[in-house]
Amino acid sequence: MEETQVCEKCKYWAETGGTDSGLVGECHRNAPQPELIDAASTANIRYAVWPVTADRDWCGKYEERPMASKELLARVAMIEKLEAERKTKAKTA
């Protein structure tokens, strides 16, 4: 497993919060699984939940998350700025 193939960077992972030891989220790779809550009353409550994982967990079914549009635009802007600075330095040298 490559260090970059962790839940936080997987397209199926959705961040839900954080703890002192890092982020936590839900894995949406497979369908939610049934879980039983033992209520204080005589009735049990059933519901379905996504598996909860830590940001640095991994499962072997990793798929890279596509870059968000705003992240992609920010990277393009940074590259254009660096290229303009390089051209300015080349002219003055």
28 and 71 share one domain: no
14 and 31 share one domain: yes
53 and 76 share one domain: no
pLDDT digits (tens, 9 = 90+) for 35-61: 877 666 666 777 899 999 999 999 999
On the CB side of 47, CA atoms within 13 Å amount to 7
Provide the number of structural domains found in the chain.
Answer: 2
13 and 46 share one domain: yes
3 and 48 share one domain: yes
Is residue 44 within 8 A of residue 36, CB to CB? The reply is yes
17 and 58 share one domain: yes
Q: Quote the pTM value.
A: 0.60
Q: 39 phi and psi, to 5 degrees? A: -75, 160
52 and 88 share one domain: no
pLDDT digits (tens, 9 = 90+) for 67-79: 777 777 888 889 9
Greater confidence (21 vs 53) lies with: 53
End-to-end CA distance of the chain: 46
User: Which residue range forms the structural domain that includes residue 35?
Assistant: 1-62
- Residue 65 DSSP SS3: coil
The residue assigned the tokens 């254009």 is 80
